[in-house]
Chains A and B, each alone.
Chain A
Amino acid sequence: MKQDQITQNNGAILKARARALAKEEDQALAPRSFIEITEFSLAAETYGIESSFVREVYQLRDFTPLPGVPSFVLGIVNVRGQILSVVDLKKIFNLPAKGLGELNKVIILDNGRMEFGILADAVLGTRPVALDAIQASPVTVTGIGAEYLKGITGERVVILDAKKILDDEKIIVNERVSGSE
């Protein structure tokens, strides 16, 4: 008898739980879509960029600065025999410069047509971010940097638009010496 009662109670509890669970599921019925981002820091800020555009993360050991390039081009690096340019986003976002050190990484972006690295003060890791958790950037963020932003998350992680950055004509350096011979 007692046994029965317990079973019954248990049954009630389980049912209640099932209901609760079912309800929870109801709420999240619209499946949330996620993107995976690679998180990195620039000065005091945290940024994220879609991992699907990240070819690899490369430890910045040495780089060669180039004369005559815009300041946002840090220089060129040798990635296993391939020469790639490195863009310093801090120069574009007007962030304070920081000395280069052990932690500096180059995040190599690639969309099949364009390939270059962006300098990170440190790479924090990768994690999924729900698309609906990304809000539009605050209106105060304007300027050239603004068009590279996809939005920000609740944790104030700035999500960059890798597609736009890679496709941007303005980031391409194509300069000749003017003047006659």
Chain B
Amino acid sequence: MDNDNEEFLKRLRETFRVESGEHVRAMSAGLIELEKTTDPKKQVDIVETMFREAHSLKGAARSVDRPDIESLCQALEGQFATLKRQEAALTPALLDLLHQTVDGIARLTSYAEKGQTKITQQQTGELENPMPRAGVESPFPQADTVRIPTTKLAPLLLQAEEMISAKMAAGQRVRELQEIDRILSLWKAESEKWKDRRSSGLEWDEWLERNGERMTALQSQVVATTKAALQDQRAFRRMVDDHLEAMKELLMLPVGSLVEVLPKLARDLSRAQGKELELTIQGAEIKIDKRILEELKDPLIHLVRNCVDHGIKKPEDRAREGKPPCGTIRLSFVVKDNRQMGISVSDDGSGVDIDKVRVAAAKLGLPQANAEKYSGPEETLQLIFHSGISTSPIITDISGRGLGLAIVREKVEKLGGTVSVTSEKSAGTTFRLLLPMTLATFRGVLVRVRSRVFVLPAINVEHVLRARAADIKTIENRETIQSGGQILAMARLGDILELPVRENGFEAKKTSGETAASYMPVVILTFAEKRMAFLVDEVLQEQDVLVKGLGGQLKRVRNIAGATILGTGKVVPVLNVQDLMKSAVSSTAGARKAAVTGTTPARTGRILVAEDSITARTLLKNILETAGYQVATAVDGVDAFTQLRSNEFDLVVSDVDMPQMNGFELTTRIRADKKFVELPVVLVTALESREDKERGIEAGANAYIIKSSFDQSNLLEVIRRFL
């Protein structure tokens, strides 16, 4: 009994949490509205609404035994009542106070249990923020629920019921096929008997005749079943499509449910920075897939925040520019061509400072910072979506790191949308987003690489071209190809995925690269404005695919986003384009040498590391072993040379500064020994001086890596050249 009671209370509290969230949001929205409107009649209406909201919440709080919330609501109600009777003036101070109170309630309701009574002991007037504002976080986590009108559910149920006919039809087809199979088996058994018999006139003729009849009967059965199966297919397709459409419809929510938090967010942010602004929303009634809506929340918050931080200036600065003291952020939603939604976020602020963007890009070492190459301000402006670019002179806890807009772009592109920005100095900035209204069925391009088939997300496939061997040119030993007037880096997908050239003892179908005259299919992939070419062996087709996870044990596999099941039941991996691009850049598989030999980069080789510092030694050993090499260590040149003579090594990595015998001396000793003439020596040093480098070359070292530029990929790449 107690348990039941406990369970019930838990449910009740959960219900209350959801309900109170709605009341709080309504009150927040009301307060914002109240602030904007100057029409006294409208003000009265709003106050009336909020009064009722506060009253309802009070009642709800009482029923779940939350006196803390109840008393706050009581105070609010009283305040609204005074406003209603017009016994108090609506001052900004009062509005702030009301906002804070509603915030306080929001925080209290987000605690499932009471116990935060501390807040209530203070009167509404002194209500302080007990916690710093959580910033982006909405004070009450929205319950992951959708309200569905029953009128929408009824047809859905009907559709589901219709599927029973599909089940029965499938059963019927199975029975028909079993019958055909039975007839065929009988026939086959009978035929066996005739095998050894000599053909004896009449009997034989009879048998032949019977065969003919059977064949005809069987054929008509097969024809009938095929026809029925075709009909099934048509019916099922309609059924499934309708059902899918109806389900998608259920998940369509008005944009308003997402953006209702934004006016408040903008208000709080601007107040904190001593700015004034108003946020208007148009097209809040447009409906969009809930899943897209949820993904849009962060980008929109980032954009609004960006407008407040960078666009809108303080009232006095605005006055100097001849603008009204209160800034405006316009958020508008429009439907385009029925399939896409356009969102624009614009402010009437100071615009983006192109020169600052350029400076920031140069600091990051982006090639685009080169003003001559990218002279157009349009192109330069788009750089603000690049991670790490910020025009803000200081990094604060909420901005200046240049991440916000990069996140916006990543999220939007993940949804299959695009984002762009236009800006005019001292007139304002506008961000435009273009998004699909529903989450499109994932389309994939099937490609064959060596003997395996993979799916590339169609959204990342810019186009497919057929290249001749002559079109592929190497630059710094990396393959490139020209497409649309741009030179693109090219990688061989088989090498990037490290697929074995031979599989199951059979040589994989000849890769198209082998025959110089033939065309090779090249897929141009794009991700976050990066383009790269990938050579495959065959482009098979494009089709709808349902992407599934790889199961709990394979949480994340590099280069692979998931898998899909083809109509034949075959499982095919879906590739992760972002990973592929990273892999192509970091691996030397992109280099021609690896492509020619086609060996998987399982590296073997014995390396001797000479280094006197234990830290550096351990680090080197670790890096090399992780890369698959066998590593022995020596503490100085003498030790190294002794080990060289007693054991076999394929390469030596040596520090320059070491006691007893330094790296130069060691190299000289190695080169002087006939046995080691060919042994590659890589010198690693902290000294970055030309003389030292020359000395290293003179001593006969094969490579000279400066520690300051010494990251592991560099070292490994150098070593790979020698082994």
Residues of A within 8 A of B (CB): 62-69, 73, 76-78, 81-85, 87, 113-116, 171-181
Contact = CB atoms under 8 A, between A and B. Distances in A.
Contact of A181 (B452, B499, B556, B581): B581
B573 interface: yes
Contact of A179 (B555, B570, B713): B713
B7 to A, nearest CB: 22
Interface centre among A63, A177, A180 (most CB of B within 10 A): A177
Interface in B550-569: 550-560, 563, 565, 569
A76 B554 contact: yes
Nearest to A99: B504
B713 A173 contact: no
Contacts of B356: none
Interface string B351-381: 0000000000000000000000000000000
Interface in B534-585: 548-560, 563, 565, 569-573, 579, 581-583, 585
Given A178-B586, A181-B582, A68 B452 contact: no
B246 interface: no
A174 B563 contact: no
A113 B552 contact: yes
Given A85-B554, A116-B553, A65 B497 contact: no
21 contacts: A64-B571, A64-B572, A65-B452, A66-B573, A69-B557, A76-B554, A76-B563, A78-B565, A78-B570, A78-B571, A83-B563, A85-B550, A85-B553, A87-B553, A114-B552, A116-B553, A173-B553, A175-B557, A177-B583, A178-B586, A179-B586
Interface SS of chain A: loop
Interface centre among B452, B551, B582 (most CB of A within 10 A): B551
Contacts of A64: 452, 563, 570-573
Contact of A67 (B497, B555, B556, B586): B497
Contacts of B556: 173-176
A114 B553 contact: yes
Given A68-B498, A76-B551, A83-B565, A62 B570 contact: yes
Contacts of A177: 558-559, 579, 582-583, 586
Given A66-B560, A181-B530, A116 B570 contact: no
Nearest to B497: A67
A66 B548 CA distance: 14
Contact of B559 (A67, A78, A81, A85): A67
Contacts of B557: 66, 68-69, 173, 175
Which 6 pairs show the lowest CB-CB distances between chains A and B? Answer: A179-B586, A67-B497, A116-B553, A174-B555, A177-B582, A64-B571
Nearest to B503: A65
A162 to B, nearest CB: 14
A78 B569 CA distance: 7
Contact of A68 (B548, B555, B560): B560
B406 to A, nearest CB: 11
B582 A68 contact: no
A172 B553 contact: yes
B326 to A, nearest CB: 41
Interface centre among B548, B552, B555 (most CB of A within 10 A): B552
Contact of B571 (A77, A176, A179): A77
B558 A68 contact: yes
A76 B551 CA distance: 9
A62 to B, nearest CB: 7
A68 B497 contact: yes
Contacts of B549: 83
Contacts of A178: 586
Contacts of A181: 530, 581-582, 585
Interface of B: 452, 497-499, 530, 548-560, 563, 565, 569-573, 579, 581-583, 585-586, 713
Given A115-B552, A178-B586, 15 more contacts: A66-B550, A66-B557, A68-B497, A68-B558, A76-B554, A76-B573, A78-B565, A78-B570, A82-B551, A85-B554, A116-B552, A175-B556, A176-B558, A177-B558, A179-B582
A65 B451 CA distance: 11
A110 B452 CA distance: 29
A178 B627 CA distance: 13
Nearest to A179: B586
Contact of B551 (A63, A67, A84, A180): A84
Nearest to A109: B553
B66 to A, nearest CB: 35
Nearest to A173: B554
Contacts of A82: 548, 551
Nearest to A181: B582
Contacts of A83: 548-551, 563, 565, 571
Contacts of A171: 553
A177 B583 CA distance: 6
Contacts of B553: 73, 85, 87, 114-116, 171-173
Nearest to B560: A66
B558 A175 contact: yes
Contacts of B713: 179
B497 A73 contact: no
Contacts of B571: 62-64, 76-78, 83
Contacts of A65: 452
Contacts of A68: 497-498, 557-560
Contacts of A78: 565, 569-571
Nearest to A64: B571
A67 B556 CA distance: 12
A85 B336 CA distance: 43
Contact of A173 (B555, B573, B585): B555
A33 B108 CA distance: 53
A58 B558 CA distance: 27
A114 B583 CA distance: 29
B499 A67 contact: yes
B54 to A, nearest CB: 45
B162 to A, nearest CB: 21
A116 B551 contact: yes
Contacts of A116: 551-553
Given A62-B570, A68-B560, A73 B565 contact: no
B387 to A, nearest CB: 9
A177 B576 CA distance: 10
Contacts of A172: 552-555
Nearest to B586: A179
A84 B563 CA distance: 10
B429 to A, nearest CB: 26
B565 to A, nearest CB: 5
Contacts of B583: 177
Contacts of B452: 64-65, 67
Contacts of A115: 551-553
Contacts of B569: 62, 78
Given A65-B452, A176-B556, A179-B582, A76 B570 contact: no
B558 A85 contact: no
A58 B573 CA distance: 21
A62 B569 CA distance: 10
B61 to A, nearest CB: 38
Contacts of A173: 553-557
Contacts of B572: 64
B554 A73 contact: yes
Nearest to B713: A179
A78 B554 CA distance: 15
Nearest to B452: A65
B478 to A, nearest CB: 15
A116 B570 CA distance: 18
A53 to B, nearest CB: 14
B242 to A, nearest CB: 21
A81 B549 CA distance: 12
